[in-house]
Chain A
């Protein structure tokens, strides 16, 4: 069994339903109580009238009775009572000392047993309602006392009991009219209640909607969003809290941005300032190298000179990489994209880096790979991936290119031990060191981070994984150019 009451989800629906339910409950309660009260008073009045009528008739007829009465006498009494019944048109019957009531005619309804017992037991007038032929009837029973003028027995019960039954058609009609009136009142009340319900829902929903809109704008980055809080209800308080929150957020955000921008500018400035002394040092490194190689220097001096020139080169490269990174951070890295075949670019990169004809690097580029890309940036990515593969992996390094699903895929695979699983998620992080024991790697530690940013600048991706048989696989995807152009 999977029965569950489905609660309406919208706040508006819930509010309206709640108000309508409250109104319906109130209307039903009121109508019910009113109906009950009206019904019972109508019936009581009918009963009292009937009892009074019956007593009056008896008062005039009973004195003529002889005691003990015969069945004929009882029937006569009943007939007389029926005739005097007047507007009520009751059907009466009479009994003596508990005998079966004798009706005026055989068609009269039988007197209910309960009523007879009640009259016998209490010796008082009693009523009972019962249904006959689908119509409500009222039966009244009354013991008859001896007439007041009979000496010795005056006021004492004679043992004679008279019953009268009559249909409650008029009362039934009155009560039906009451029900109809209650229905006719409740339905318009419910419909009318819909209007204030909708108004109440609106007054709650409007501020809630505005709050939602404000929250969405803040989520979208519009931290200057403020809502006007009117009134003094809970929703206005909530709106004020919202504004306070937005203000705090904006202040924190501004502060963070300021600090971040400051940090970035500092990194860029430092890198930039390092350039001038590096310019002087870089330009003389060949002089140092030449002298160290020529054997004109003492052995340990030559070693020192080689070390210095290596470090200068490393430093210069790191400064360049830092400046590139700060350009990415400042979103100031320009993309000079042009239509080209990636195969040409791979060949160019290999040629420029002296890997052309190198047995350690093989290429598998069977199909044209048209892309729209910045050749300098793609060259940076390729050179970095191939250089890394040669440095950290084992040859042969394979560069494979193919197209799939509107994308150009270039994979660089080596045959080394692969990248440890715990290192894989971090290879594109800045200055991430795979081997913590080694304080410095050969590169700046920024190469892969820059390659990654360059790939994203093109709307492409760069991912690292391990081949099933070992060896690292770096995959570069770039969007396929729709109209490949061969410039030659």
Chain B
């Protein structure tokens, strides 16, 4: 089971989420503010962070950016704000998923599991088939599916779990076009419509990290009216 860090200032939500997750066998650490959350990140070393956006002093967005600077730990934003713009901004700050409050314990756990599976794709039955130890080369990119290391010109890239899983999924079948719904289902395991912004935001972040010029992408290309594909590389 997972070690979860909950950064949330409302005591009722703290208690509720803790109760629900502990019942499901997870270990939960609570931080009442962004600063204590960042501190607990070092000390508690969670598998996953549940992050509220509206926090005193340091906002959830800032916390998310700080985490992304150095860590690859999955971050799920848990917010009562459901405006498009809040969601987009949160995802662009580096979050792997976005849950709108109120949400049941079931939903939270399902999303957590989906995000956590991204960092352990070896346990996924589909990924088990190509048991290659060789790292794939795509232009300047090196993708090692066993060690989950992505490097560009030999330099290892710090990718968020959702970015990593998106890249692994797309690069497995170069040239194949996927629409946003397919990517949402495959990478985020969201089985409902909507939230395709999640895909767009993640593609944007991934491009910022792997492309030479994110405005003229060569690795993750847009196919107008359909979706995205990996390559073909020039």
Residues of chain A at the chain B interface (Cβ within 8 Å): 272, 275-287, 290, 316, 319, 323, 334, 336, 339, 345, 348, 352, 375-376, 379, 485, 487
Contact = CB atoms under 8 A, between A and B. Distances in A.
A286 B118 CA distance: 26
19 contacts: A276-B10, A276-B12, A279-B80, A281-B16, A281-B102, A283-B102, A283-B105, A284-B105, A285-B104, A285-B105, A286-B106, A287-B19, A287-B23, A290-B23, A336-B194, A336-B196, A375-B194, A376-B194, A487-B179
B103 A283 contact: yes
B155 to A, nearest CB: 36
Nearest to A317: B102
A283 B104 contact: yes
Contacts of A339: 225
Contact of A286 (B10, B84, B105): B105
A334 B86 CA distance: 14
Contacts of B20: 283-284, 286-287
Interface residues of B, number: 30
Interface string B7-47: 00010110111011001000000000000000000000000
Contacts of A375: 181, 193-194
A272 B80 contact: yes
A102 B225 CA distance: 123
Contacts of A283: 13, 16-17, 19-20, 102-105, 108
Contacts of B78: 279
Nearest to B82: A323
Contacts of A279: 10, 13, 16, 78, 80, 101-103
Contacts of A316: 102
A284 B105 CA distance: 7
A280 B13 contact: yes
A158 to B, nearest CB: 130
Nearest to B22: A287
B35 to A, nearest CB: 21
A343 to B, nearest CB: 14
A285 B104 CA distance: 7
A277 B12 contact: yes
Contact of B16 (A284, A336, A345, A487): A284
Nearest to B194: A376
Contacts of B101: 275-276, 278-279, 282
Contacts of A277: 12
Contact of B10 (A280, A290, A345): A280
B84 A282 contact: no
A352 B12 CA distance: 31
Contacts of B103: 279, 282-283
- With most chain B CB atoms within 10 A of its CB, the pick from A276, A280, A376 is A280
A60 B148 CA distance: 158
A8 B191 CA distance: 71
A345 B181 CA distance: 12
Contacts of A282: 16, 101-104
Contacts of B192: 352, 376, 379
A437 B19 CA distance: 39
A334 B13 contact: no
A456 to B, nearest CB: 19
Given A285-B105, A287-B19, 17 more contacts: A272-B80, A276-B13, A282-B101, A283-B19, A283-B103, A283-B104, A283-B108, A284-B105, A286-B23, A287-B20, A287-B23, A290-B23, A316-B102, A319-B102, A345-B193, A376-B192, A379-B192
